[in-house]
Amino acid sequence: MTTPTSAIPKTTSGGDRVTALPFARLAGWSSGAAALAGIVWFGVAKIAGFSGGDASIGLWGAVIASAAMTCGLVIMGPWVARPVSLWLTLWLAGTLVRFAVALGLSWVLYSATSVSPWALLAAVGGCYVVALMTEVIVLARFMNRTLAA
């Protein structure tokens, strides 16, 4: 049985605001940013004359970064209303999960293909960092609006 949103308290007994995070917005923006970074990698690599495998690794980097970001968000359970102070701790835990998932998927991709390890590192790392920065921006804007209300 779900609790109606009107029954969820707006603050804790200590005065900390209680809210759920915008899962769709966080996942959408971070995945979109990772996809854009992967497309940019692909274009720049093609212009620079990289091999087809090294150029397309940017697209795989976007897939890995998107999967990692989504896994980190799912672990956090952003659809559950929690105190704002707890969200910061859960976000750090989600970031650890994201990093582990990205590392694991990168290892699987490296083991399955014969791409340059430096191209893989740059593509996945770049997409991951862009997606993480985008998620931080979306999360910070949401928290600022929540705390200001």
C-alpha to C-alpha distance for 114 and 54, rounded to whole angstroms: 9
Q: What is the pLDDT of residue 17?
A: 86
Confidence check: pLDDT of 68 > 80:
yes
The whole-angstrom separation of Cα 25 and Cα 110 is 31
Residue 11: pLDDT over 70:
no
The arithmetic mean of pLDDT across residues 70-76, rounded, is: 93
Average pLDDT, the chain: 88
Among positive and negative, which fits the CA dihedral 57, 97, 111, 28? Answer: negative
**Domain ranges within the chain, ordered by starting residue:** 20-148
Query: What integer is the mean pLDDT of 22-33?
Result: 94
E strands, the chain, in order: 18-19, 82-83
pLDDT of residue 14: 62
- Element containing residue 87 per DSSP (H, E): helix 84-112
For 131, the token pair is: 């997606």
3-class state of residue 11 by DSSP: strand
Does the structure show a pLDDT above 90 at 88? Answer: no
| Structure tokens that stand for 63 in this block | 């897939």
